[in-house]
């Protein structure tokens, strides 16, 4: 593996990591959508799947803007988060409880992405890559909005998921 000589190399490394992460999310979301019971949750996840396809395209434009070829590098961090979500889906659960679990997994994914995009934006800004900065900021905004939406949906899902008093 080539030596990371400077911030630009690290920037590319992390871009590759996110390129792979977004693709992993595209593969994982359909199962979560299928298992979700709450209509609002299903829709929010469907919309986010569409957005995520856009994130992949945007990353390709970021690579292009710094004259680099779009390439992925396996991201074990995202794989772990997705695997935990999958495990939860395999458990026997009341539909509302499963929905609450889907939200928990999806928000972990979102926060991982928000952290990664935050770093990428800081690097892009520091290195004066204006186009890359703008593109990455657009995606970060969408991740943040998706996260907020999930919090909103969780309010009714969590209420539905609570066991009735005395049912323990």
Per DSSP, 164 falls in state P
In whole angstroms, how close is the CB of 67 to Fe ion at the nearest point?
Answer: 23
> Which helix (DSSP H) or strand (DSSP E) does residue 135 occupy?
helix 130-161
Burial class, 65, CB count within 10 angstroms (exposed 0-12 / middle 13-18 / buried 19+): middle
Stretch that binds Fe ion, among 50-58, 64-72, 119-127, 156-164 (CB under 5 A): 50-58
Distance, CA of 62 to CA of 69 (rounded, Å): 10
In whole angstroms, how close is the CB of 62 to Fe ion at the nearest point?
Answer: 13
> Does the CA dihedral 110-1-123-135 come out positive or negative?
negative
Stretch that binds Fe ion, among 7-15, 35-43, 54-62, 94-102 (CB under 5 A): 54-62
Per DSSP, 38 falls in state S
Size, binding site for Fe ion by CB under 5 A: 2
Q: Does 23 bind Fe ion (CB under 5 A)?
A: no
Per DSSP, 108 falls in state H
In whole angstroms, how close is the CB of 7 to Fe ion at the nearest point?
Answer: 23
Cβ-closest position to Fe ion: 55
Tokens of 65: 């803007």
Stretch that binds Fe ion, among 35-43, 55-63, 85-93, 129-137 (CB under 5 A): 55-63
Q: Does 55 bind Fe ion (CB under 5 A)?
A: yes
Binding site for Fe ion (CB under 5 A): 52, 55
């Amino acid at each position: 593996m080539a030596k990371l000589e400077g911030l630009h190399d690290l920037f590319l490394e992390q871009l590759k990591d996110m390129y792979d992460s977004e693709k992993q999310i595209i593969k994982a979301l359909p199962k979560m959508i299928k298992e979700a019971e709450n209509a609002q949750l299903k829709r929010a996840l469907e919309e986010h799947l569409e957005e995520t396809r856009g994130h992949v395209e945007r990353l390709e434009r970021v690579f292009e803007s710094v004259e680099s070829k779009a390439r992925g590098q396996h991201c074990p961090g995202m794989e772990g988060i997705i695997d935990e979500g999958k495990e939860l889906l395999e458990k026997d659960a009341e539909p509302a409880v499963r929905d609450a679990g889907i939200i928990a997994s999806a928000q972990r994914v979102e926060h991982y992405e928000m952290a990664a995009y935050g770093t990428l934006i800081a690097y892009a800004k520091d290195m004066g890559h204006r186009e890359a900065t703008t593109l990455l900021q657009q995606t970060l905004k969408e991740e943040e909005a998706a996260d907020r939406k999930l919090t909103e949906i969780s309010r009714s899902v969590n209420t539905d998921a609570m066991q009735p008093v005395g049912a323990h």
